[in-house]
């Protein structure tokens, strides 16, 4: 069998082993999976042609040693300067799962200590010796019962961190993160105060762009094709005002800039509702980073000061404000 074929089989077997031992692989790109498998093989002292009974727990390698092994034995051509990727990416999950010890022989080693080494845990080496044998399945169950399943742990942690949002009678679960926290604030704080009874017609999650969509309602007001990649983060419609709110939840990019507004103006040319553009931010610090990009004739809302708006609207709101006068018209 050709060496390349043996290497492919070895990598595939390694990924199967990692998955069965609780490493979450679904979200990783094919390249990330391959590099993780090969880094794990390097730590185990494995190369094509070897048997899993030869996996070692005393093979202590520094990050650069891992790269050298991958280059010499596992078909890679990785720069020696990429050693930090070993810690931050390639061995991150195996270390978190306890399959690999990150400071073998020196538990007090600092993160940036160049002498720290990686090695298989003895329990990992022992179970690798059983791969492909009738005892493998039972050994995996016992191993996970003892050490835990990282994939399940991360899944439970993610569920705990989900962002719950209620839209009318619909309860949604957004993924964790500040962007979705801001979308929650837009729906639960901004729209009830400034939306004139606006109902949410669209909101996307960072993982599901069409998480909540009222396609028929948007079609009745002539909104553009919903599969278009230029959709704003939140779309809401006030029947009382015939206003359509196009809202961007700005966490790391994409406020309503002059260019963004121009594109949306063109896309909504057939819309029968009047458009209200809003750039929303979690706090003033975030707003300051993007203030120079905000387009005229738009609004800015900051979640930490939820009862106020900033109007980039020329002289539209020029004049004295009475104490009881609302801040949005």
Q: Is the pTM of this model over 0.75?
A: no
Q: What integer is the mean pLDDT of 232-244?
A: 92
- Check whether 121 has a pLDDT greater than 60: yes
Q: pLDDT value at position 108? A: 43
Q: pLDDT value at position 216? A: 87
How would residue 288 be classed by pLDDT, with cut points 50, 70 and 90? Answer: very high
Task: Give me 163's structure tokens.
Answer: 């962002």
- Check whether 37 has a pLDDT greater than 80: yes
Nearest to 308 by CA among 288, 290, 325: 325
Q: Domains (ranges, CATH) in the chain?
A: 3-157 (1.10.10.1820), 163-312 (3.40.1350.80)
- Check whether 230 has a pLDDT greater than 90: no
Strands of the sheet with 298-302, listed across from one edge: 212-213, 199-203, 234-238, 243-249, 274-281, 298-302, 309-312
- Check whether 151 has a pLDDT greater than 50: no
Q: What integer is the mean pLDDT of 43-66?
A: 94
User: Distances from the Cα of 52 to the Cαs of 60, 91, 203, in angstroms?
Assistant: 18, 19, 49
State the Cα–Cα distance between residues 122 and 101, nearest whole angstrom. 10
252-282, pLDDT tens digit by residue? 888 999 999 999 998 888 999 999 999 999 9
Q: pLDDT value at position 159? A: 45
68-116, pLDDT tens digit by residue? 999 999 999 999 888 888 988 899 888 888 888 886 555 444 444 555 7
């Amino acid at each position: 069998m050709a060496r390349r074929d043996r290497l492919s089989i070895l990598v595939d077997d390694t990924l199967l082993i990692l998955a069965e031992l609780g490493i979450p692989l679904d979200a990783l790109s094919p390249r990330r999976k391959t590099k993780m498998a090969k880094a794990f093989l390097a730590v185990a002292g494995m190369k094509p042609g070897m048997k899993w009974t030869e996996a070692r727990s005393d093979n202590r390698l520094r990050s650069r040693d891992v790269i050298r092994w991958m280059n010499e034995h596992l078909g890679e051509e990785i720069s020696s300067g990429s050693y930090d990727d070993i810690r931050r990416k390639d061995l991150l999950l195996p270390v978190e799962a306890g399959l690999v010890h990150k400071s073998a022989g020196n538990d007090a080693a600092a993160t940036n200590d160049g002498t720290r080494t990686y090695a298989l845990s003895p329990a990992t080496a022992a179970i690798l010796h059983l791969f492909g044998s009738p005892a493998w399945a039972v050994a995996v169950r016992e191993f996970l019962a003892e050490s835990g399943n990282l994939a399940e742990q991360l899944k439970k942690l993610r569920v705990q961190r989900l962002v719950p949002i209620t839209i009318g009678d619909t309860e949604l679960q957004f993924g964790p993160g500040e962007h979705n926290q801001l979308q929650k604030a837009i729906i639960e704080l901004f729209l009830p105060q400034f939306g004139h009874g606006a109902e949410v017609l669209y909101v996307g999650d960072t993982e599901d762009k069409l998480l909540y969509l009222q396609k028929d309602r948007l079609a009745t007001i002539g909104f553009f094709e919903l599969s278009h990649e230029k959709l704003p983060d939140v779309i809401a419609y006030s029947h009382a005002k015939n206003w359509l709110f196009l809202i961007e939840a700005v966490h790391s990019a994409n406020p309503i800039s002059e260019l963004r507004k121009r594109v949306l103006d063109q896309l909504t040319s057939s819309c029968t509702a009047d458009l209200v553009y809003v750039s929303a931010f979690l706090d003033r610090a975030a707003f300051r980073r993007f203030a120079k990009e905000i387009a005229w004739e738009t609004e800015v809302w900051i979640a930490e000061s939820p009862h106020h708006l900033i109007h980039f609207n020329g002289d539209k709101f020029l004049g004295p404000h009475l104490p009881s006068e609302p801040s949005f018209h």
